[in-house]
Amino acid sequence: MLSLYATYITTMSNENITTIHEFDFNFICEFFLKMKRQGPGSPEITLKALSFIDNLTDKSFIADIGCGTGGQTMALAQHIPGQITGFDLFPQFIDRLNCNSKDLNLQGRVKGIVRSMDNLPFQNEELDLIWCEGAIYNIGFERGLREWRKFLRSGGYIAVTESAWFTEKRPAEIENYCMPHFPEMNTISNKVAQIQTAGYMPVATFILPETCWTDHYFTPMIRAQEAFLDKYAGNKTAEEFVELQRYDAGRDK
């Protein structure tokens, strides 16, 4: 059967209808290249999720979709066998992933490819595990689950993180901030129901601890912001980009 591992809140927009995707492609890439992770998470949480998955062998095929520079990819590769392919739209992210793979002597079974998550190069029932930390929202939660399912073999797993409400009711300010840009946000129970409707059997779900946001994402982001503003001093677009990151960080707290 198939599985889900995690659900958590993530926001990347502001109430002025500006989103990270509206900035120059190269600007986004350069900024996030300065960070080990391009979204909240940690090696410990990656391994926690991995603990719910079994039956992987040297012949297993794993896809890490929306892999970024491969922070979680390397954690996976150091703890499971099989061939791992990471996919991301940013060529610089993939270059970094492949360099990291070589540095860890994993290049024989870990590689990155520049590719959109809506155009994956797999045959039906080719994969044993699909991994997607904090990126499925780019294609849409339900769409991703539906379209990627055909790539999984019988007994395969899918592990994703997704935005979710922790309660049925929340302050209007927060809901108005999130919903225009993340219309699929829903409660965890409803997300699990969507997973089941897509033909999966949930094995586990858990909420990311606060440290995945603070220690592993926002704190490194502050350092990246400082370096970015030093390089682009006086550049209005760079300043607006950093301001958006700070706005989101303040709201996510």
Start-to-end CA span in the chain (Å): 36
Assess whether pLDDT exceeds 50 at residue 16. Answer: no
Helix ranges (H only) for 104-218 are 141-148, 172-178, 188-197, 211-213
- The whole-chain average pLDDT of the chain stands at 87
Q: In the chain, which residue ranges form alpha helices assigned H by DSSP?
A: 25-33, 43-50, 71-77, 91-103, 141-148, 172-178, 188-197, 211-213, 219-231, 236-252
Render pLDDT for 71-107 as a digit per residue (tens, 0 to 9): 999 999 999 999 999 999 999 999 999 999 999 999 9
Structure tokens at 54: 């079994």
Q: Looking at 170-179, 201-210, 211-220, which range is the least confident one?
A: 170-179
Share of the chain above pLDDT 70, in %: 89
User: Based on the number of CB atoms within 10 Å of its own CB, is 124 exposed (0-12), middle (13-18) or buried (19 or more)?
Assistant: exposed
- Of 100, 116, 52, 115, nearest in space to 80 by CA: 52
Taking residues 54-83, report their average pLDDT: 96
* Residue of 34, 79, 72 whose CA lies nearest to 53: 79
Instruction: Name the one residue in this structure whose structure tokens are 């129901």.
Output: 193
Which pLDDT score, from 0 to 100, does residue 250 have?
Answer: 58
How far is Cα of residue 42 from the mean position of the Cα atoms in its chain? 12
- Residue 71 main-chain phi, psi, to 5 deg: -55, -50
Q: Which CATH class is domain 20-29+38-209?
A: alpha beta
* pLDDT classification of 246: cutoffs 50, 70, 90: confident
pLDDT of 18 strictly over 70: no
Please state the rounded mean pLDDT for residues 40-53: 95
Using the Cα atoms of residue 125, residue 201, residue 86 and residue 103 in order, give the sign of their dihedral.
negative
pLDDT over threshold 60, residue 193: yes
pLDDT by residue (tens digit) across 116-145? Answer: 999 999 999 999 999 999 999 999 999 999
Residue in 38, 48, 104 with CA at minimum distance from that of residue 74: 104
Lay out the sheet containing 61-65: strands in order across.
Answer: 110-114, 83-88, 61-65, 127-132, 152-160
C-alpha angle 120/132/104, rounded to 5°? 95
Could you give the CA distance from residue 151 to residue 131 in angstroms, rounded to a whole number?
Answer: 12
CA distance 194 to 142: 7
